[in-house]
Amino acid sequence: MSRYQDAGLFALLAVAWGAGFSAIEVGLRSIEPILFAGYRFDIGAVVTLGALAAIGRLDRPTERADWQAIVVAAALLVFGNVFFLFVGQLYTSGSVASVVYSLTPVLTVGFAALLLSGGGLDARDTVGIGLGLIGVILIAGPDPSVTAAAPTGAPEFLSPAFAVLGPDGVGASLVFCAVISVAAGSVLLRRIDAPMASLPTTGWAMALGAVMLHAASLALGETPTLPSGTWTWVSVAYVGVVASSVGYGAYFTLMRRRGPFTSNLVSYAVPPVASITGWALLDEALPPVAVVGFGLILVGFLVLNREVVAEELRRVAA
C-alpha cells in the first residue's frame, strides 16, 4: 500500500507544481511579480503554520541551528527562488520556465559534490552538468527573429540582454538564476544540523521569506495593492495553498519515505504537466528547442546519478 501512496504523492506533487507555472502566468497579468510572490508565501506560511499548530506539531526555533536553517531556506529557497522565477515568467511562458527549472537536481548534485563531499567533480560528473547547461543555453539562446527593444516596463538594466537574447532568452536566464538559488540553498541546508523538523522549518521560512519579498517589492517601487479579479485571486490562492503548502508537504513526505533520488525525479514530471496546463488554459506551445533542451537536462541528470539509477533499476528488476 505504501508504494501506491508514494506514487499518489508523486503525482500530486507533479500536478501541484506543474500547474503552478500556469497559475503564475495568470496572476502576472494583473499583479506585479514580487508583490505576487509575497502574497504566495503569506498564504503558504499561514496555511502551513496553522495546520501544524492545529495538529500540535508546530515546533518553534530554539537552537541557533534552527534559526540558521530558517534564514538559509528563506533567503535562497523562498526569496531568491521566486524573485527570479516570477520576474522571469514576465518574459517567457510557464512551459519554458518549467523546463529550465528541471535543471535544479543537476545543479544540486554539482553543488553537493563541490561543497559537501570535498572530492570535487570527476570527468563524468562534469559531462553531466555540462549537458544540463547546454540544454539551458539552447532554450535561452539568442533568437535572431526578435527585435532589439525591451518590452514596455522592463527594467532598464536588462535592455542589453533583450537586444541579444530576446524576451524568451531573458526570461529563461532569470529562471536559471532561480535554479542556482534553489540548488545552493538545498546544499547549504544539508550542512546545518538543525534539530527542528522539516515542515515547521519550511513554514517559518515561508513567513520570513514573505517579509523579505514584501520589503523588496516596496524597495523596487511596486504599488502595494491587493489582488483584484476572480482569476487573480484563484491564481494567488493556488500558488499559496496548492503549490506551496500542499506541494512542499508532499515533497518533504516523499523525501522522508523514498529518499532524495525518487523525490527529485518530480522535476522531470513537472514540465509535461506545465506544458499541458499551459496549452489547455493559456494556449501556450512548447518550442521544439525547449524539448531538445529538456532532453539534454534529463540526460545530464542520469549521467550525474548513474550509480543511483543503476541501483534503482536493480531493485525494480529484483
User: Residue 20's domain spans which residues?
Assistant: 2-317
Q: Quote the cell numbers at residue 249.
A: 508537504
Residue 50 amino acid letter:
G
Average pLDDT of the segment spanning 285-306: 76
Reply yes or no on whether the pLDDT at 136 is more than 80: no
* Of 34-48, 138-152, 163-177, 185-199, minimum mean pLDDT range: 138-152
Number of domains in the chain: 1
- Residue 236's pLDDT is 94
Longest dimension (CA), the chain: 59
Say whether 150 sits in a helix, a strand or coil: coil
Distance CA 312, CA 308 (A): 6
Question: pTM here?
Answer: 0.83
- Residue 249, H or E segment: helix 247-258
- 149: confidence class by pLDDT, cuts 50, 70, 90: low
Average pLDDT of the segment spanning 279-292: 78
- 1: confidence class by pLDDT, cuts 50, 70, 90: very low
| Structural contact between residues 212 and 82, judged by C-beta atoms closer than 8 angstroms | no
